């Protein structure tokens, strides 16, 4: 969307400021000396016409430039994008003495191009000047260009005219998943057929084909109707059995904590891992749903097929965490009320010892109906304090107490995780750098094990 409206603002230039300062100094000297007073009056009479003429030459021709921006509406976080500015000369009158360009890009992007000084000679020759520059999207979410700005300088540089064109552009910054599109993350996974044909809890068996009876087959699998139509050469019946395979389509629900438990860096890593695993799960034929709790209450119902990935991206691309309370208990309770079939629930948060009581009665209920994976991040600061590189003998009493407190905190966390694992839940503790690979491996292990 582009608009041609523009606003102008006259501003004094550096030369006018310097001349005014010198004139003020000359006026101070004229207060004491009569000879200087004469030159001061004469200088003022001569300067005023120059200043006014310089201003008139800058203003009278009006706006002589027009700009249009070309930028993709969907960009990837961390991937530089090319922005194209088409600058046209709208009149045949002379151009300003100097032209500086500013593109008013959003705060979520960065570049070191501006201010950009335009070539007046190039505009005189072709009437059109194309400017291309790279812009780096740093944050996910919607973005907005408020316009472009020209700073036009007068001939003597007494004045500057700031002209703002309302060239508006809007778009979205998504996480960078080019490597997924290239398939680099999926090599050796689904393509090699490593998923075992095992019946999964909560799932039925789908008929695949008919085949001859083999030793070890269950009598319940014999298709007597097909057997009655098939006889051997000696006249005896040829046993035919039904061959089944497990239903491949399973359901996965991702729940991410957008509250105080996950700071920005951890939240971004968790969201990227969620979207990456969603892509893989959809490739495997599973239905994928997503939810958020804390700062944002979000629910994206389960869908199958690669078209569902677009819906997930559009629903999650602008999600961010905020320092507000969040309750994993309420998130799981809400999920239980929405899920109609057995699902693989992946809950990403930072679980601590106090979560044991709040989750103690709902986790067994979930474990009966669903398969739950609790994902938590390692506490790197606590690990650094709990396992110092230097000896405790060289530390002060306060530092020793901090080390003991950190060690106790980590020990209680791991004791809680072991308790949950012994009750049949899945627990994954990982770092933000490794969460994607850890989640993918755990998902593939679940697919192979038949636990779902």
Q: At what angle do helices 307-316 and 264-283 cross, to 10 degrees?
A: 170
Identify whether the C-beta of residue 99 lies closer than 8 Å to the C-beta of residue 118.
yes
Q: Is the pLDDT higher at 349 or at 40? A: 349
> 287 pairs with which residues across the strands?
251
Identify whether the C-beta of residue 63 lies closer than 8 Å to the C-beta of residue 90.
yes
- How does pLDDT run across 177-233, given as a tens digit for each residue? 665 555 434 443 443 333 333 344 444 455 556 778 777 677 777 777 777 777 766
- Is the pLDDT confidence value at 301 over 90? yes
pLDDT confidence tier of residue 41, bands split at 50, 70 and 90: confident
Q: Is the pLDDT higher at 185 or at 281? A: 281
What does the H/E/C string look like for 117-136?
A: ECCHHHHHHHCEEEEEEEEE
- Domains identified in the chain and CATH numbers: 1-174 (2.60.40.10), 205-246 (no CATH), 251-449 (3.40.50.410)
Rounded distance, CA 117 to CA 60, Å? 22
- Is the pLDDT confidence value at 246 over 70? no
Transcribe 237-294 into DSSP letters.
Answer: B--EEEEEEE----EEEEEEE-STTS-HHHHHHHHHHHHHHHHHHHHTT-EEEEEEES
- How does pLDDT run across 19-38, given as a tens digit for each residue? 889 889 888 888 888 778 88
Q: Which residues of 291-300 are buried (b: 16+ CB within 10 A; e: fewer)?
A: bbbbbbebeb
Q: What is the pTM of this model?
A: 0.72
Rounded distance, CA 280 to CA 292, Å? 20
> 413 pairs with which residues across the strands?
none
Q: Is the pLDDT higher at 417 or at 385? A: 417
- Is the pLDDT confidence value at 391 over 50? yes
Rounded distance, CA 139 to CA 107, Å? 9
Residue 212 has φ and ψ, to the nearest 5°, of -70, 150
Rounded distance, CA 27 to CA 43, Å? 10
CA dihedral 196→177→140→299, nearest 10 degrees, is -30
- How does pLDDT run across 152-161, given as a tens digit for each residue? 888 888 999 9
Q: What is the pLDDT of residue 181?
A: 52
Q: Which of 37-41, 141-145, 336-340, 391-395 has the lowest mean pLDDT?
A: 391-395
Mean pLDDT of all residues in 415-430: 88
- How does pLDDT run across 83-101, given as a tens digit for each residue? 999 998 876 667 788 889 9
């Amino acid at each position: 969307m582009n608009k041609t409206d523009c606003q102008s603002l006259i501003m004094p230039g550096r030369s006018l400021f310097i001349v005014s300062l010198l004139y003020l100094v000359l006026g101070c000297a004229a207060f004491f000396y009569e000879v200087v007073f004469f030159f001061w009056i004469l200088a003022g009479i001569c300067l005023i016409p120059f200043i006014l003429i310089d201003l008139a030459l800058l203003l009278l021709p009006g706006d002589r430039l027009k700009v249009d921006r070309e930028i993709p509406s969907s960009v990837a976080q961390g991937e530089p994008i090319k922005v194209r500015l088409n600058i046209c000369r709208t009149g045949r009158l002379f151009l300003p003495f100097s032209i500086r360009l500013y593109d008013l890009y959003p705060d979520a992007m960065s570049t070191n191009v501006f201010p950009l000084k335009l070539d007046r000679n190039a505009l005189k020759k072709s009437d059109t000047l194309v400017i291309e520059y790279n812009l780096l999207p740093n944050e996910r979410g919607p973005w907005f260009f408020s316009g472009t700005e020209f700073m036009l300088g007068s001939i003597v540089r007494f004045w500057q005219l700031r002209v703002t064109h309302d060239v508006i552009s809007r778009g979205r910054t998504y996480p960078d998943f080019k490597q997924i599109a290239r398939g680099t993350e999926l090599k050796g996974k689904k393509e090699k057929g490593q998923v075992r044909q095992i019946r999964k809890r909560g799932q039925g068996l789908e008929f695949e084909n008919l085949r001859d009876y083999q030793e070890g087959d269950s009598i319940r699998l014999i298709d007597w109707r097909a057997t009655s139509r098939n006889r051997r050469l000696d006249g005896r019946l040829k046993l035919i059995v039904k061959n089944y395979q497990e239903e491949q389509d399973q359901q996965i629900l991702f729940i991410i904590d957008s509250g105080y438990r996950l700071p920005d860096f951890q939240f971004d890593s968790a969201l990227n891992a969620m979207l990456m695993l969603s892509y893989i799960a959809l490739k495997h034929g599973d239905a994928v749903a997503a939810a958020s709790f804390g700062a944002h209450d979000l629910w994206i119902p389960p869908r199958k097929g690669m078209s569902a990935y677009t819906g997930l991206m559009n629903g999650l691309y602008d999600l961010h965490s905020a320092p507000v309370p969040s309750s994993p208990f309420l998130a799981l309770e809400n999920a239980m009320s929405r899920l109609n079939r057995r699902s693989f629930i992946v809950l990403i948060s930072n679980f601590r010892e106090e979560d044991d009581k709040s989750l103690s009665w709902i986790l067994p209920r979930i474990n009966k109906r669903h398969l739950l994976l609790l994902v938590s991040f390692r506490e790197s600061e606590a690990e650094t304090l709990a396992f110092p590189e230097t000896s405790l003998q060289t530390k002060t009493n306060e530092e020793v107490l901090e080390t003991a407190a950190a060690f106790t905190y980590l020990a209680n966390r791991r004791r809680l995780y072991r308790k949950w694992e012994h009750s049949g839940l899945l627990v994954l503790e990982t770092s933000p750098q490794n969460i994607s690979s850890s989640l993918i491996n755990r998902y593939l292990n679940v697919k192979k094990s038949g636990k779902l």
